[in-house]
Amino acid sequence: MRWRASLLAAALLGLVLAAIGIVAARPPPLDLTAAEIRSPVVLDRSGTLLRPFATADGRWRLPLAPQAVDPRYVAMLLAYEDRRFRDHPGIDPPALLRAAGQWLAAGRIVSGGSTLSMQVARLVEPRAERSLAAKLRQMARAVELERRLGKDGILRLYLALAPYGGPVEGVRAASLAYFGHEPGRLSLAEAALLVALPQSPEARRPDRFPEAARRARDRVLDRVAERGVVRRDEAEAAKAEPVPRQRRPFPMLAAHAAEAALAQRPAQAVHRLAIDAKLQASLEALVAERVGALGPDLSAAILVIDNPTGQVRAHVGSTGYLDASRAGAIDMAAALRSPGSALKPFVYALAFESGLAHPETLLDDRPSRFGAAYAPENFDQTFQGTVTARRALQQSLNVPAVDLLEAVGPARFIARLRAGGAAIALPRDAAPGLPVALGGLGITLADLARLYAGLARGGIVPDLVRRLDGAPAPPRDLPRIAEPVAAWYVADTLRGTPPPENALPNRLAYKTGTSYGYRDAWAVGFDRRVTVAVWVGRPDGAGVPGLVGRLAAAPILFDALARIGGEPEPVPMARDALVTTTAGLPPPLRHIRRDAPKVAGEAAGAALRIAYPPDGARVDLGLAEGAGSGLALKALGGTLPLTWMVNSLPLPEAARRQAEWQPDGAGFVRISVMDATGASDSVVVRLE
């Protein structure tokens, strides 16, 4: 017994000397800058993790709040590592006394008597040596951390910095790497494994030494059962749970969007996007399944836009970000590709807006030559004769679309697309020609989706809102792709487009496109709520025989809509829309023939033009006071009778060169006139 007393006295002396050493060895204030570095993370709209990124030195150290961890894990951690954590000032004297006695008895450090605070001090200021001096410095740092951060701050650092093997640090990264889910809900076995690994992270890595990991986990379960944290039967049942034998990949949802967000703000630690993680995961699975069945080397992209807000709810940039065989790292939603017939709706919108046509206007679909060499044919190499503009667009007939583009002018059409915010690329910077109606240009899926969202919004093209963090963008006047009436005419027409096989008709306004050489297949659809745009093709631009928008992209579009959920809602009818039959249209609008000139200046004799009001004029009619007078309209040239239209609606009994229109309010209006030969002119004025 005497030797034990001597040993205890020596241990107490050692403890006193240690305390003196702590005071004497007080180092300069601890720099916590490196300890606060976290992996950048990209979150969805509700805070769900989309994709984390490694730190600059290659570590996976994800931000984590203590309240986001399963409370049972924290209780087990404290019971196993530091039972008096909430009571001691960073150093636990009984534990130090035990450690000092073991040191004196064995002549070496057997156990360090480390508190959780001391472990954090070692993580913040790592030292390779295991010496008394190092231990004294660790104690001093523990006391300092307690004073600076308090208990919750100490726990927060431990949860973020605890090592779990290789580059994995912190409970959140470990839970994702070994279990594939967040640490908010852990099984008893999972929590015990996370408690056990940091003591010897390399020797107990489950992906390399699963048996060592299992034994360490089971020791934790025994200890916490002894201390009453869990019931013994629960601990025994947890031991039967297998230990994970491999690391799981970290989440990589919306990989391209996440990468773009980080590149935009590289210094920001947490990025929140407008994406819905659940929808994103569903659409990524859809793309992988559908494109995998279409054949090798193909990729696909999907963009989902919330029409009222412009928020991007899903962004699938490829079939699989890590699939090198399909060039998955390339974001095909941002790649310039030929849209095929997907731009035809905007040709029709411009023609409707300009007063050249109405959905019930008859158009000729017959062999035609434009200029010396351009003779477009339909996809099936047949012609349907005389059809309404509605049917021509629904059937995606080529000759009527080129006919209307010739009438409105290719340069004006391209200018309208660019004014709507689309970055249009023309071949070798050539002047716009008639082939642009059939896809003879380059556009991105994102820009095409925005333009279609504009049709759903009465012609106003939204800014794409990709992020929900930071200050909102300052308000601005949004661009227009069409006037409200013309936009609704197109939306109503496209809602009648025949759906793909096994899909219900008249549910979604949509259009497909196939580029020359079967390089790109497109399908874009919208209702009042959302716009969904789909592209399928090879990233290298090679053709794929049989790759057609209706067969390859449209089924993906309709499946995507089904996964979004909810009943499709038609775009509300524009207030001034004219719903009638062909016979109910003014005579010049009933049938447009190729042999009839359609552009002002082509008619025999003087060119038809609007003399008053001039284009761009601001006309003060006293509308603000509610006592406005009529607006005089005057045209020169052309062949009588004339048809005057305001916002695509014909004015009754206005067949002469002079007419009058009674406005019903202030704002912008488009005034058009058409003569008996089909020649037309239009202006936009602002009434005040």
Distance between CA 538 and CA 294 in Å, rounded? 11
Residue 377 is predicted with a pLDDT of 86
Residue 25 is predicted with a pLDDT of 52
Question: What tokens appear for 15 in the block?
Answer: 């403890």
For the chain, the residue count is 688
Catalytic residues: 81, 341
Chunked mean pLDDT (size 10), the chain, 688 residues: 49 49 63 92 97 96 93 95 87 68 56 80 79 77 90 94 96 97 96 96 95 97 95 96 96 98 95 98 97 93 98 97 94 97 97 94 90 81 92 96 93 94 86 89 97 98 94 87 96 95 86 95 97 97 94 96 92 92 89 58 65 86 59 86 83 80 83 83 86
The residue assigned the tokens 């060895």 is 25
Report yes or no: 514 and 572 within 8 Å, Cβ to Cβ. no
Instruction: Return left, alpha or beta for 396; rule: phi > 0 is left, psi -120 to 50 is alpha, else beta.
Output: left
HSE-CB at 562 with a 13 A cutoff on CA atoms is 10
Residue 40 is predicted with a pLDDT of 97
- Angstrom distances, CA of residue 391 to CA of 347, 360, 556: 15, 9, 24
Closest CA to 327 of 519, 61, 59, 539: 539
Report yes or no: 203 and 175 within 8 Å, Cβ to Cβ. no
Residue 275, φ and ψ in degrees, nearest 5:
-65, 145
Question: What tokens appear for 569 in the block?
Answer: 């809602």
Report yes or no: 60 and 39 within 8 Å, Cβ to Cβ. yes
* CA 51 from centre of chain: 12
Residue 623 is predicted with a pLDDT of 57
- Angstrom distances, CA of residue 182 to CA of 3, 64, 309: 52, 10, 30
Residue 104 is predicted with a pLDDT of 57
* H or E element, residue 270: strand 270-272
Residue 373 is predicted with a pLDDT of 73
Residue 98 is predicted with a pLDDT of 64
The residue assigned the tokens 């309209």 is 633
Residue 668 is predicted with a pLDDT of 83
Please write the tens of the pLDDT for every residue from 580-605: 999 999 888 899 876 544 443 343 45
Distance between CA 627 and CA 436 in Å, rounded? 46
